[in-house]
Amino acid sequence: MFLKALDTIHVSSVSSDNIITGQTFEIDDLGGRSLIERGLAIEVDAAEQKKALQAEKAEAEAQEPLMASEIEEQPPIANKAGTHTRKKVA
């Protein structure tokens, strides 16, 4: 089942990080019912969740890549012996 957090919570079976207010997440039915009963989350439609994930993914992909002229010059990478091997590309 998909839930939306009403408060910041930590559910170790979902993520090692905290689930923040308004974040949607998937959890098993028993754990989900427990969170709903305690007023920590509400159930959301799976189709709504899928649309939200797609929109979030589209926003992440919408960022334009930097042009070569916009990238600052990086110092060369040195190996263990101290000699320069190549330049790191950002």
Q: Alpha-carbon distance 42 to 36, whole Å?
A: 6
* Lowest-confidence segment of 7-11, 30-34, 62-66, 83-87 by average pLDDT: 83-87
**47-72 confidence digits (pLDDT tens):** 777 777 777 777 767 666 666 666 66
DSSP 4-34: EESS-B--TTT-SSPBPTT-EEE--HHHHHH
